[in-house]
Amino acid sequence: MSLTSVALIVVLLLVAAYAVVLYNALVRLKHGVGKAWSNIEVLLKQRHDELPKLVETCKQYMQHERTTLERVIAARNAVASAREKGDVGALGQAESGLRAGLGQLFALAENYPQLKANESFQFLQQRVAGLENGIADRRELYNEAVNLNNVRIEQFPDLIIAGLFGFKAAELLEFSEAEKADVDLKTLFS
């Protein structure tokens, strides 16, 4: 074997090894996005299970606030549907509606001292608020994983491997502009 042949084989082996390293890094990023999404799904499911209990507790006291309670249930169902479909865009919109409904529900609860004093309501309110905070934290981690994945599959030479093996960009979990805006407390109490 000539020196040129050996050099060519070594170069090809190095290129192949580098391609394998790039491929494995892209696989890790893709699975990181999936793991981050699964972490969000766990919290969404837990909150989904808690909301009917919260609404039922509120129904006992808030007979005149039926539309608010119905809005929370409808938003809960929209979140569940988007979660089951894995539709990140629809989930962001449904989450915005649910958070607005919950904010209004908790604001209206201020008008019902017996409800606020109810241990079940207090527990459920704290539980849902804790889950909301967890979802916000996990959303941040998910979006970071998506960003790392999306940047990497667009960088050279990773984009060659990503294109060859069908790696796709993932969608950020974003909430509506209304969700990001400051809450107008006057409208919640009018």
Give the pLDDT confidence of 73-125 residue by residue, as tens digits. Answer: 899 999 999 888 888 888 888 888 888 888 888 888 888 888 878 888 888 88
Looking at residues 6-25, what average pLDDT do you find?
94
Nearest Cα neighbor of 27 from 159, 169, 149 is 149
Residues in CB range of 150: below 8 A, 6 or more apart: 169, 170
What is the pTM assigned to this prediction?
0.73
Residue 179: the pLDDT is: 47
Looking at residues 129-149, what average pLDDT do you find?
92
Sign of the alpha-carbon dihedral angle for 62, 67, 70, 76: negative
| pLDDT surpassing 70 at residue 45 | yes
| pLDDT surpassing 50 at residue 187 | no
Question: Mind giving me the DSSP string for 92-126?
Answer: HHHHHHHHHHHHHHHHHHTT-HHHHH-HHHHHHHH
Q: Residue 99 is encoded by which pair of tokens? A: 């958070």
- What distance, in Å, lies between the first and last C-alpha atoms of the chain? 88
Q: Which amino acid is at 98?
A: L
DSSP 86: T
CA distance 66 to 155: 52
Residue 169: the pLDDT is: 93
Q: Where are the domains of the chain?
A: 33-150+170-188
Q: What is the CATH number that goes with domain 33-150+170-188?
A: 1.20.1440.20
Q: Residue 65 is encoded by which pair of tokens? A: 């606030």
Residue 185: the pLDDT is: 39
Residue 25: the pLDDT is: 95
| pLDDT surpassing 80 at residue 177 | no
